[in-house]
């Protein structure tokens, strides 16, 4: 599947040249506002290596987003297998993203996420894709809504991986989109591509 292309983006596997940006987004207080930790360069490099290997094996994952106009790596978006989330089956697939702040507010995540929904439903044959975020993370939940996902308040949960030392980050909201909903939105052209 790699790379996917959209009007403004190449969605591809990670490369060594991406390591500085990847570390920056994983250690930036603004980007990591809703996470209970920051990664140093060594931990960031290990995570990038794991993501690279997983994408090579499965054909999807949290992939690098490269801007077509100048080749800048901006962060990531992609699909990932869910693990350890209460109420979600082990074969659930989530959509997620993370960008450096200078690229926020330009529609890149929405554009990439729509491409991933297309790929997940058309190529992988998924029946549903989920997403979740800290309840107060309005930037992420706004993207979820823009790409046609629906909040399921009865399925909101306290994230088991968030330590008790960060109680404000435990409550998470759960969003879902089914293949049928995606197909309907696609045929209605009611979800903007960017």
Q: What is the mean pLDDT of each run of 10 residues along the chain (194 residues)?
A: 87 96 92 83 94 93 96 96 89 95 95 96 96 95 96 94 91 97 83 46
Residue 82 lies in a domain: yes
Q: What is the CATH number of the domain that holds 125?
A: 3.40.630.30
Report field, pTM of the whole predicted structure over 0.85: yes
Number of structural domains found in the chain: 1
pLDDT score at 2: 63
**Cα(175)–Cα(95) distance, rounded to whole angstroms?**
10
Residue 55 lies in a domain: yes
Residue 66 lies in a domain: yes
Residue 132 lies in a domain: yes
Strands (E) in 22-92, as ranges, are: 62-67, 73-81
Residue 37 lies in a domain: yes
Q: Coil, strand or helix: which one is 141? A: helix
**Cα(78)–Cα(100) distance, rounded to whole angstroms?**
16
Residue 193 lies in a domain: no
**Cα(157)–Cα(175) distance, rounded to whole angstroms?**
11
Domain residue limits at 37: 4-188
pLDDT score at 90: 86
pLDDT score at 193: 46
Strands (E) in 84-170, as ranges, are: 93-99, 128-134, 150-151, 157-158
Question: In degrees rounded to 5, what are phi and psi of residue 177?
Answer: -140, 130
Residue 49 lies in a domain: yes
What would the pLDDT profile of 34-66 be if each residue is shown by its tens digit?
887 889 999 999 999 999 999 999 999 999 999
Residue 129 lies in a domain: yes
């Amino acid at each position: 599947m790699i790379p996917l292309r959209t009007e403004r983006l190449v969605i591809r596997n990670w490369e060594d040249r991406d390591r500085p940006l990847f570390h920056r987004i994983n250690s930036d207080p603004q980007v990591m506002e809703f996470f209970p930790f920051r990664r140093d360069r060594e931990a960031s490099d290990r995570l990038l290596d794991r993501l690279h290997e997983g994408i090579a094996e499965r054909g999807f994952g949290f992939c690098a987003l490269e801007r077509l106009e100048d080749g800048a790596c901006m962060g990531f978006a992609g699909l990932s297998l869910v693990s350890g989330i209460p109420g979600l089956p082990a074969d659930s697939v989530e959509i997620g993203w993370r960008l450096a702040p200078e690229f926020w507010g330009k529609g890149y995540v929405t554009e990439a996420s729509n491409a991933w929904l297309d790929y997940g439903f058309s190529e992988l044959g998924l029946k549903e894709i989920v997403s979740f975020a800290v309840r107060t993370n309005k930037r992420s939940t706004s993207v979820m809504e823009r790409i046609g996902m629906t909040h399921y308040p009865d399925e909101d949960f306290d994230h088991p991986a968030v330590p008790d030392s960060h109680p404000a980050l435990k409550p998470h909201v759960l969003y879902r989109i089914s293949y049928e909903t995606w197909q309907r939105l696609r045929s209605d052209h009611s979800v903007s591509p960017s």
